[in-house]
């Protein structure tokens, strides 16, 4: 079976690369069957494939990066937890009768250091996605996160959050249960915590659903993740009354990691392997792990007051504007 046939979630801009990789695989198979040495030709084709991969992934549009951020095979919070931590133990429930599967939380060790981990979790198939509300957390999810963050602060344990959601759950039931209040309360409390907080956008960071666990001393983004006030589809529908203009909205929103780094809204971009995270999840996890360890070492060297001042100044400087006299 050709390599292209084994990749059901192939994106349009990945097709030329996949076709070339398929040709290399076919040539290698024919050469093995006929006992012909074509190693030199294969080396040349593989070099061309690597060059094409770099060309494709270094010139992506915001819409294409959004496709990568939403890729069904992109590593999730649980994938990273399993890859980078030891002794992971998931904790459930907000102690008010709800346990939202769209937002997971628990304790683990990162490089031997105890940490509390909280993150959005999307499903791997339709059934799992429905159970996890497609990664859109309810008020109960944010209150569960708050319970774990309070626990972390009480016992002086650093907090790591992983953001990957199109937004908070937008249904009537969530509004009845106080969606806005739950997110706002989390924002206030996260500014008050003494412990180090590191948030990482690993996929799609959307609206208040992302901010509910996104107030941090350090805000990191994986290279091909996105972070915005609204999805491009919602933005296009609001501004132009036409969701088909989402490509235009994606550019206007400045939602890519490079855009946000230039605007000073994030602290660091975590480089993804060639071909993006879904093509090499283990290497991506290794890069993320080292970045988290380095940032934790820097933050733990500070006093609690220094961290809180840093956190406050970071967000205070966002959205600066100039008034021009008439």
- The full DSSP string for 8-67 is TT--GGGHHHHHHHHHHHHHHHHHHHHT---HHHHHHHHHHHHHHHHHHHTS--HHHHHH
First-to-last CA distance in the chain? 68
Please check whether residue 15 lies inside any domain of the structure.
Answer: no
Q: In the prediction, which pLDDT does 12 show?
A: 77
Q: What is the spatial distance between Cα 72 and Cα 17, in angstroms, rounded to a whole number?
A: 19
Please check whether residue 57 lies inside any domain of the structure.
Answer: no
Q: Which tokens sit at 216?
A: 């941090």
What is the number of domains present in the chain? 1
Please check whether residue 33 lies inside any domain of the structure.
Answer: no
Q: What is the spatial distance between Cα 223 and Cα 237, in angstroms, rounded to a whole number?
A: 27
Please check whether residue 39 lies inside any domain of the structure.
Answer: no
Please check whether residue 165 lies inside any domain of the structure.
Answer: yes
158: Cβ contacts below 8 Å, ≥ 6 apart = 113, 114, 115, 116, 152, 195, 196, 197, 198, 296, 299, 300
Q: In the prediction, which pLDDT does 1 show?
A: 33
Q: In the prediction, which pLDDT does 37 show?
A: 75
CATH code of 78's domain: 3.90.226.10
Please check whether residue 16 lies inside any domain of the structure.
Answer: no
pLDDT profile of the chain (326 residues), mean per 10: 50 78 79 75 79 80 91 94 96 89 96 96 90 93 96 97 93 92 95 96 92 95 94 89 89 93 94 90 96 97 94 87 75
Q: What is the spatial distance between Cα 144 and Cα 102, in angstroms, rounded to a whole number?
A: 11
Residue indicated by tokens 């660091």? 268
Q: In the prediction, which pLDDT does 136 show?
A: 94
Question: Could you list the residue range(s) of the whole structural domain that residue 126 is in?
Answer: 65-316
Please check whether residue 13 lies inside any domain of the structure.
Answer: no
> Do residues 268 and 218 touch, judged by C-beta distance below 8 A?
yes
Q: In the prediction, which pLDDT does 285 show?
A: 96
């Amino acid at each position: 079976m050709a390599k292209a046939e084994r990749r059901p979630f192939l994106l349009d801009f990945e097709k030329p690369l996949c076709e070339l990789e398929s040709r290399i695989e076919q040539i290698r198979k024919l050469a093995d069957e006929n006992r012909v040495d074509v190693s030199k030709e294969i080396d040349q084709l593989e070099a061309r494939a690597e060059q094409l991969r770099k060309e494709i992934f270094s010139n992506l549009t915001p819409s294409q990066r959004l496709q990568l951020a939403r890729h069904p095979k992109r590593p999730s919070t649980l994938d990273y937890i399993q890859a980078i931590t030891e002794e992971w133990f998931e904790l459930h429930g907000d102690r008010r009768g709800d346990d939202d599967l769209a937002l997971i939380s628990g304790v683990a060790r990162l490089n031997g250091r105890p940490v509390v981990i909280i993150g959005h979790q999307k499903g791997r198939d339709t059934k799992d996605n429905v159970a996890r509300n497609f990664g859109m957390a309810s008020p109960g999810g944010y209150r569960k996160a708050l319970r774990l963050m309070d626990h972390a602060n009480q016992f002086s344990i650093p907090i790591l959050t992983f953001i990957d959601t199109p937004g908070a759950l937008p249904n009537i039931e969530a509004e009845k249960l106080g969606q806005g209040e739950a997110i706002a309360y989390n924002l206030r409390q996260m500014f008050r915590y003494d412990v180090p907080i590191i948030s990482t956008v690993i996929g799609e960071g959307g609206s208040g659903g992302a901010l509910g666990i996104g107030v941090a001393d350090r805000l990191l983004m994986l290279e091909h993740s996105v972070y915005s006030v609204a999805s491009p589809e919602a933005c296009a529908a609001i501004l132009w009354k036409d969701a088909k203009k989402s490509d235009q909205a994606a550019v206007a929103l400045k939602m890519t990691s490079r855009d946000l780094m230039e605007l000073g809204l994030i602290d660091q971009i975590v480089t993804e392997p060639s071909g993006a995270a879904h093509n090499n999840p283990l290497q991506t996890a290794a890069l993320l792990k080292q970045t988290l360890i380095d940032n934790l070492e820097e933050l733990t060297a500070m006093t609690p007051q220094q961290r809180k001042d840093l956190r406050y100044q970071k967000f205070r400087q966002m959205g600066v504007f100039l008034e021009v006299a008439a």
